[in-house]
Amino acid sequence: MPETDLPLDELRRYLPDRQEPADFDAFWSATLAEARGHDRPAEFTPYDARLSEVRVYDVRFPGFGGDPVAGWLLVPAAARTPRPCVVGYLGYGGGRGFPYEWLTWPAAGYVHLLMDTRGQGGSLQPGATGDPHGSAGSSSPGMVTRGIQQPADYYYRRVFTDAVRAVDAARSHPAVDSERIAVAGGSQGGGIALAAAALADGVRAAVVDQPSLCHYRRALAVVEGNAYREIWTYLRTHRDQVEQVFDTLSYFDGVNFAARATAPALFAVGLMDEICPPSTVFAAYNHYAGRKDIRVWPYNRHEGGGQHQVVHHLDFMRAVLGEAG
């Protein structure tokens, strides 16, 4: 497959103007204040996963609107003092699945809180979190255009709020060193991690692999895959709502979150990615306000570095958070 986007030297310089609404910060400040008004404590129920080296907890914490959001908390069984924690977010369509699928971070000595994504989990891994809010207007099949007519109603307002509350939940557990919390994800999860890095308190590090939900206009101009397909399908039908839709998306653009995130970050990109085009990844990366690095995989699609990227994750977390044990 040929490269789908700009040459690498142009990508490294690619710094598009950001479409940012004047009330962006006020919008998110009010959203998170409302969510934290639902101050029910997170619940961590011991779960028998038949794992001798990891303690597993079935998690429920209050997310957007106080809605219960599921997750898994995995704690190294050998931990006797609080450990650094990696809060993880999932790719589009996947749910929290089973604890056995998420053993890399606890095997390396970190506590790992994996957040279920509301309303998803019907493909890939199964999920356990509903989205009771539905859609305020019409939408194309999938989740990405639900409520897209207005920022207050948009689906990712709820998801990004859940992501911040997941960090709050992790910080509340006694096994977690509250001063050493990182966020991580790929694809949709990378976009969510960018939002959490900007919005959550005290995030120390971010791993952002092949993020989606970034630089929407560019994405829709160069690819038609996966989540972005849902947006152009909607706009193909609702021809009179183009600017209205992009106004809503500007409140949820990873490029705008990147400009506010200051924790050290490790990005990754596949130069043949036909789902999250490289220019959209570099738009977020080049606007990122904190210390940063990016791993470039020239011959890979949306899988990016795959398992080859994991060693970079581990080295990065060790460098930023210190030894886990």
- Three-state SS letters, 138-189: CCCCCCCCCCCCCHHHCHHHHHHHHHHHHHHHHHHCCCEEEEEEEEEEECHH
Cα distance between residue 145 and residue 291, in whole Å: 33
The answer to whether 92 is annotated as binding is yes
What integer pLDDT is reported at residue 3 of this predicted model?
A: 63
pLDDT tens per residue across span 75-94: 999 999 999 999 999 999 99
Per the domain annotation, does 2 fall within a domain?
Answer: no
Q: Is 313 helix (H, G, I), strand (E, B) or coil?
A: helix
Residue 297's pLDDT band (boundaries 50, 70, 90)?
very high
Q: How many domains does the chain have?
A: 1
* Predicted local confidence at residue 209, as pLDDT: 97
Residue 1 domain-assigned (yes or no): no
Residue 324 lies in a domain: no
Q: How many CB atoms lie within 10 A of CB 48?
A: 7
Residue corresponding to tokens 């790992």: 112
- Pair type for strands 176-186 and 203-209: parallel
Residue 86 vs residues 108, 111, 186: alpha-carbon distances, Å: 11, 6, 13
Identity at 125, one-letter amino acid code: Q
Structure tokens, 238: 């609702």
Whether residue 221 lies inside any domain: the answer is: yes
With a cut of 60, say whether residue 257 has pLDDT above it: yes
In a domain, 74, yes or no: yes
Q: Which long-range contacts (CB under 8 A, 24 or more apart) does 2-9 make?
A: 2/272, 3/271, 3/272, 4/222, 4/223, 4/272, 4/273, 4/274, 4/277, 4/278, 5/222, 5/271, 5/277, 5/278, 5/279, 6/278, 6/279, 8/271, 8/296, 8/298
Rounded CA-CA distance 42/207 in Å is 24
Q: Residue 185's domain spans which residues?
A: 8-319
Report percent pLDDT > 70 for the chain: 99
With respect to residue 287, please indicate whether it lies within any of the assigned structural domains: yes
Q: How many CA atoms lie within 13 A of 100 on its CB side?
A: 5
Q: Is the pLDDT of residue 132 over 80?
A: yes
What would the pLDDT profile of 7-42 be if each residue is shown by its tens digit?
999 999 999 999 999 999 999 999 999 999 998 999
| CATH code of the domain in which 69 resides | 3.40.50.1820
Q: What is the DSSP letter of 66?
A: G
Percent of the chain with pLDDT over 90: 89
In a domain, 171, yes or no: yes
Token pair in block for residue 81: 């003092």
List strand residue ranges (DSSP E) for the chain, in order.
43-47, 54-62, 68-76, 83-89, 111-115, 176-186, 203-209, 265-270, 292-297
**55 in any annotated domain:** yes
Q: Which residues are catalytic?
A: 187, 273, 302
Q: Measured at the alpha carbon of residue 130, what is the angle toward residues 249 and 73, in degrees to the nearest 5?
A: 95
